[in-house]
Structures are given as C-alpha cells and as structure tokens.
Amino acid sequence: MPLETPHDKYMRMALELAAHGEGKVEPNPMVGAVIVKDGEVIGKGYHEYFGGPHAEVNAINTATGSVKGAVLYVTLETCSHFGKTPPCVDAVIESGITKAVIACLDPNPLVHSKGVKKLKEAGIEVIEGVLEKEAKRLNAPFFKNHIEHMPYYIAKWAMTLDGKTADRYGNSMWITDARTREFAKNFRLKAGAVMAGIGTVLTDNPRLLGPEGSNRNPKRIIVDTQGRLPLDSEIIKTINKSETYVAVSEKADEKNIKALFEHGCKILQIAEKNGRVDFTALSGKLLEQGIGKVFLEGGPKLIADAFAERLIDKVIVFIGPEILADPEAFPAVNGKNAIKISEAIRIRRIFAEQMNEDALIMGEVEYPRQI
C-alpha cells in the first residue's frame, strides 16, 4: 500500500468533516474543507445544513489566523454560481488563499469546471483528483441525481436467517430486537426521505418517523396505487410531524385522492405500469420535489419493482436469529423473474457487523450486464 501523502491526509480530514452533513444538506452535496498554512491546520468547515454557508466559507471564517498564502483542501469543486448563498469561489479568491486542492469536479452543469476555471484565472494554483473515488462515493446520491437524473435508493429490510421478512400470516413483529429497530431509524434521517408501499402500511401501520427524541423527521412517501391509505392510520395521525407524499395511479378514485389531500397529504399522480405505480416515473417526480435520496422500507413486491427497474443503489439488511423453514413465509424480495446465479444482482463493498443478537449487512448494488 502506497504511503499517504500530505494531500491525502488533509483531504481525508475534509471528507470526514463533510460526512457530518449527511441528512441535513440534501439535495445539496456534503462538502468539507480544511485550510493548511505552514504545515498546520488553521481552519476547518463543512456544509452544515441546507441553505447555510458552504464548507469553504465556514473554514475561512473559523480560521485561527490569516489564510493569506494558505492551501485550501475541499472535497468538491468550489461553487461559482448564486444559489441559496453567494459563490464560494469569490470568498476563496478574496481570502488570499494561493492553492486549492480539490477532490472532484461538481457534476452539476451550473458549476462543472467553472469554479476551477475561475480560481485559475485569479492566479490560484489548483490540484484536482486527490481521493477522487472516495469523494464521489461519499456523494454518490448527488452524482446520481445530476448524471442519471434519478434519486439514490437505499433498500432496507429485516429478515430471518432463511431470508423471510414475515411469517405466512404476514406477521413480522419482531424479527430483530428493539435496540436494532431503533438504530435502523437513524438511516431514515440520513436519507432525508423514507418510502413504503401501501401493503406495509396496511399490515404494520407504521409511523415512519425518526428515532425517539429526535427533533427531525424524514419526509414520507407512500406508494399507494389506488389511494387506499386509511384515514385513521398512524401516517395520517402524525401528518403534522412530517411532509408526506402519497403516490397514486392516474386512475385512482378521485374521492380517495381528495380525502387524502384534505388530510394533509401531498398527492403525486403517476402513470401505471403493469397495474402498479410506474417506479421510474415516480422517481422523476420525486427528484422534481427536491428528494434526491430515498430510504426504501417497502415490502417484497415494492423492493422487487425497484430492483427490476435497476433503481436501488445500496442495501441495508438486518438479520434476526430466527429460522422459519416455511415455504409460505414472505421472502425479502418477491420478484417474478427466474434467473441464473450468473445473472444475479450482486452486492459489492460489503460491510458486516453484529448488533446484539442480530446482524447488519450493508453494500453497494451491482446489476448484471444487460445484453
């Protein structure tokens, strides 16, 4: 393994800072910045919340001394356009920083290469591509939003050791223990939006909120082709706690739609595909609403639909210590295609950890090549 260079060291520090913004800055990217002068770190910052100052500005403003002649390490190309805040590139130029080390360029066409160009025109030396892969992985949702124009999906399910998410009667309470279930809710906040199908809502009547005691809750998306969400469900009872979208078919009963709207739901009317809400069309609508990252807690059919459309990017699976040994129990993913092992969807970059009596497995999704 090659030795870590000073550039790597400081960029890794900036990446660690950037990660603190997860779940708070979306649909913006997570960005971290470190300012180094004479071999010492004199400033640190990250993008803390959507609409707030960007990482470079925070690092400059909190520096312990003059940043004139210093080196800026930043995980994403410095922005050069007016958005919620003024262009960061102007603040960097005005600060007197003489070198900028950038992990990767911004995929947003409003910014791409323009920030680097402006820095160079101001006489600032620019080094690109330091820990580029790590930086792109950190902001994988942001890159997918701008390159594929789709939200980034993280599918989560809890299952028994033999791959069942519920017994033959639909009962899943409880496969994992209470501590594991509460821990899992943190992923909802990191995503910013949580999605479930109407089947899950009718069976489990979940609230789909953040962890107990949290002052934030994710947005909620219910995929409900016919608009059957019960008006006495926990979703409706807690409608004031979370912005809630209900995705219905364009053919759904107008009375159902009207009732849900009057109870505070935001309605997304989506074309059908095979008698269900078209997942790809829904995804485009969600991105239009500023939802670029979704934690999918659907049942086996909804998750299968998302896999079939090649939309799921990452999986988080909690495994309980039970074995049902029942062919009629509900599987984790209930697709319709009979495929060979050689054609299977695979999980890469796997992380595994024991949690009490349960196990957690996470990984990135790799789809088989289409011929």
- Active-site positions read 56
Q: Under a CB-based contact definition with an 8 Å cutoff, are residues 354 and 186 in contact?
A: no
Token representation of residue 28? 């913006």
Token representation of residue 9? 């060291």
